[in-house]
Amino acid sequence: MSVENAVEVCGEVFEADVRARRFQVRTEKDQTVSVPFSAEQEQQVTSALNGHRAVRVRVRGRAEVLPDGHISRFWRVDDLLVVEAGAERFDPDAQAIEDVLAGIAAQVPASEWAKLPRDLNANLDHHIYGDRSQ
């Protein structure tokens, strides 16, 4: 049984069918995903296919996800972007790492924080590795 989820994949376009308006993406995890495209997106898709060694496509939308987590095919594409291969992935809407860490730290009970040595920050190596003077 599969479910439909909002997903994002990034990978190499290695096949495109302009009549059926579908293309195949091979992800970094070596998964093959079938993706529909619109007439407006055809130029992006064929360009990505032509330059498949140097570019990747990033696709966001609704897709069929199998129980093992494999994305078999997209039903709807909300965003299609052609990027250079190896380009850093950046989500401007992502939560700042400081906020993520603060959220994790807030889940630790005060009694556990009290167990940490007061000089932990100043002597981190000593507390992790012990006395190495011998």
Q: 27 burial class (0-12, 13-18, 19+ CB within 10 angstroms)?
A: middle
Residue 131 has pLDDT above 80, yes or no: no
Residue 16 has pLDDT above 60, yes or no: yes
**pLDDT value for 132:** 64
**15 close to 49: Cβ distance less than 8 angstroms:** yes
Q: Predicted confidence band at 38 (pLDDT cuts at 50, 70, 90)?
A: very high
Q: Which residue has the higher pLDDT, 79 or 68?
A: 79
Residue 35 has pLDDT above 80, yes or no: yes
**62 close to 101: Cβ distance less than 8 angstroms:** no
Distance CA 52, CA 83 (A): 11
Cα angle 58, 60, 37 (rounded to 5 degrees) comes to 80
Residue 28 has pLDDT above 90, yes or no: no
Among the ranges given (40-44, 121-125, 130-134), the one the predictor scored with the smallest mean pLDDT: 130-134
For 90, which DSSP code? -
Among the ranges given (2-6, 58-62, 69-73, 99-103), the one the predictor scored with the smallest mean pLDDT: 2-6
pTM above 0.85, yes or no: no
Instruction: Give the pLDDT confidence of 88-105 residue by residue, as tens digits.
Output: 566 667 788 888 888 899
Which domains, from first to last, does the chain contain?
3-84 (2.40.50.200), 97-129 (no CATH)
Distance CA 57, CA 83 (A): 6
Q: Give me the amino acid identity at 65.
A: V
Residue with tokens 């996800």: 65
Radius of gyration for the alpha carbons in the chain, expressed in angstroms and rounded: 23
